Every structure is written in C-alpha cells, then in structure tokens.
Structure 1
Amino acid sequence: MSYEPPTPPADLPTEMVTTLNEFTPERLRDVATYAEELAEHKEREARLEEEADQDEVEKRPDDLPDNVPAKATITIKEINDNRYYYWQWREGDKIKSKYKGPVNPDE
C-alpha cells in the first residue's frame, strides 16, 4: 500500500472529496458500505424497471392500435342488435373505448 493518499475520481465533486477527507477511517468504512449497498439497490431497481418495461412490450397484442394502452381489454358492445368489439381502458375516473371491429366479421 502506498504512503500517498489516493487520487479521487475526476468526476467526484470537490465538496464531496473535501467532506470525505475530513472523516475518520470508521466513518469512511460506513460510507463505503452504505454506498455499495445503495449502488446495488439502484441497479436492482433499474433492472426491475427495465424488465417490467420489457414485459409490457412483450404482452402488447399485435392488433393493439398505437393510441390504445397495453392495459386495455377487449369488451363486446351490442348496438342495434349487432355486436362489436371495443378496446376499453381507464384513464383516471373515465373509461375510454376504441372500436376494434364486428364480433362476427361476416355480418
């Protein structure tokens, strides 16, 4: 081990380097432990978020229009004795719908 103090990373803010230099070895070890655990936590959260985004993309039906959210479900509405499919989803307190097509395309 060198007798010279370590060189801080260039992108570390000067205020942080100054503060760290004032800490005792015990406090620095606590900071190092916390920083490592925090880094692992943030990496895990980012990974989970990325996986959730990937799952949403994978679950999106092929025939889902671009302006309809992936959470939309298909419902059947009857109008004048004819049945139609609609995409339906909730936005806040409102239920939104978008026409998909007739239940029986031969009608």
Structure 2
Amino acid sequence: MSYDPPTPPAKLPTEIVNTLNESTPEQLRDIATYAEALAEHKEREARLEKSADQEEVEERPDDLPDDVPTKATITIKEIDGNRYYYWQWRDGEKIRSKYKSPVNPDE
C-alpha cells in the first residue's frame, strides 16, 4: 500500500473532496457504505422507471376498457350453459374479472 493519499476522481466536486479529506476513517467507512447503498437504490429506481415507461408504450387493444389493465387476458366462463368472454388479471393476491361479451358460437 502506498503512503501517498489517493487521488480523487476528476469528476468529483471540490467541496465533496474537501469534506471527505476532513472526515475521520470511521466517517469515511460510513460514507462509503451509504454511497454504495444510495447508488444501488438510484440504479433500481432508474430500472423501475424505465420498465414502467416501456409498459406504458404497450398498445392497448381497442376494446379494452379503461379500468382493465393492459396485462389482462381474455378467458371464457360458462354460466348456465351460456359462454361469455371476460377480461381477467391478477391484482395482488386476487384474480379480477370484467365482463366483455358473449361467446359467438360461429367462431
């Protein structure tokens, strides 16, 4: 290990370098732990935001009601011998459904 102090990154603002140079070894270790956790948090937030932006870009089917999420799928339910289409999706631990239309027997 060198006896010379480390060279700070050129992109680091001077006021941060000065604050770090005035800090104790214990404070520097706490700062390093916090900085690493903060970097991971900001990277995760950026990934989530990017993922949400991509989901919004998904094209909604023309017949999808406003209160039904894009991820919903169509399922067929039979009630009293009649068949019906329902939009169906997961909402947390629950499965949600919304009536779409009767099943056309000619399909």
Band of TM-score, shorter chain: 0.5 to 0.7
Please, which runs of 5 or more residues in structure 2 have no aligned partner? Answer: 68-107
Tell me which residue corresponds to 2:34.
Answer: 34
- Matches of 2:44 and 2:24 in 1, distance apart? 30
Following superposition, the deviation at residue 56 of structure 1 comes to 1.1
1:1-107 equivalent positions in 2, closer than 5 A: 1-58=1-58, 60-61=59-60, 73=66
Give TM-score scaled by structure 2 length.
Answer: 0.56
3-state SS of the aligned residue for 2:54? helix
Task: Quote the RMSD (CA, aligned, Å).
Answer: 1.8
Paired residues in the alignment total 65
Tell me which residue corresponds to 1:96.
Answer: none
- Matches of 2:53 and 2:24 in 1, distance apart? 43
Give TM-score scaled by structure 1 length.
Answer: 0.56
- Matches of 1:17 and 1:48 in 2, distance apart? 31
Give % identity: 74
CA deviations 1:40-70 (Å, max 9, x no partner) are 0000000001001111112x2366xxxxxxx
Corresponding letter in the other structure for 2:30: D
Tell me which residue corresponds to 1:97.
Answer: none
CA deviations 1:66-105 (Å, max 9, x no partner) are xxxxxx739xxxxxxxxxxxxxxxxxxxxxxxxxxxxxxx
Corresponding letter in the other structure for 2:60: P
